[in-house]
Chains A and B, each alone.
Chain A
Amino acid sequence: MPVDSFKFLPRLIAAIYQATDLQPELPIPWTPVSRPLSELKFGLVTSGGLYLIKDQPPFDLEREQAQPTWGDPTYRGIPTDIQQDELGVSHLHVNPQWVLEDIDVLLPIHRFKELAAEGRIGGLADHAYSFMGYQGYPPDTRVWQEVSGPRVAERLREKGVDCVLLTPS
């Protein structure tokens, strides 16, 4: 059975998605997986609005409150040895409770360390990256595409990362 993308969406939010007309820009980029996953290093990227309470500013929700058609396009580097109580969430569009209880629902650092220990994957990078999913309405992802996305890609590649698992929120 195909997944129903609208099963858990209130009508109002479903209507916004359905009213947005979009065609994929071709060609879709492609980097083939050339070796077994057991030889490849993984990075994790989420749009859950995660940050380190101690060292990092939250995403700019004050500006979003004042200017609702805008969303913060920056990112935060999250060490993959982070403790649950060091995690902050700034995201006005989802309930932050779940990831604050269990980081693995968005950033599966423990699951990936288990897979690395079992030899199913080659390893996990020492930093994951978080964006904040709301990029304004209508969505404006230019900074993601031109600045923050390429910078995160560069940082991951510098650390020898081959593959990335992405989790939206």
Chain B
Amino acid sequence: MPVLARTLEKAGLSTILVTMMPYWAEKVGVPRALGVEFPFAQTLGRAHDAAQQRRVILEALRVLESAREPGQIVHSSELWPQDPAEAIREWQPTEPSPIIREMAPKIRSLLREQRRKERRQGHE
């Protein structure tokens, strides 16, 4: 999505991206972004919580009107009112996506290897 912000901005529109992955927005390089510490799928706030959605949007609009140069990423202090483990379960689809199904075994073995390495370093 940061790529689309760049594409629209290049075409003469002023963009503000609200994202739960400011890490990624920074890597791609976006004109302006508001980072929110939220799970995927409820980017602007919890469903049915109009007050939270409004706070996030107003914060995003402040970033839009105050940014003076590209690459401005502001981190919101808005909190997600739910236990992280529960939120992680709830944003994901009931079935893993096709690519995750395909890549999972390879990534798991890489993660195991990484943990082994960390343990070895811990013993040194």
Contacts and interface: CB of A to CB of B under 8 A. Distances in A.
B7 A9 contact: no
Nearest to A141: B3
A28 B99 contact: no
Contacts of B30: 28
Contacts, number: 247
Contacts of B8: 45, 149, 152-153, 156, 164, 166
A91 B54 CA distance: 25
Q: What is the interface of chain A mostly: helix, strand, loop, or mixed?
A: loop
A168 B100 CA distance: 19
Given A164-B13, A167-B18, A3 B43 contact: no
Nearest to A135: B3
Nearest to A32: B14
Interface residues of A, number: 86
Contact of A111 (B19, B23, B50): B50
A17 B24 contact: yes
Contacts of B14: 31-33, 40, 162-164
Given A5-B22, A8-B20, A24-B29, A105 B41 contact: yes
Interface in A6-39: 6-13, 15-17, 20, 22-33, 36-37
A10 B92 CA distance: 9
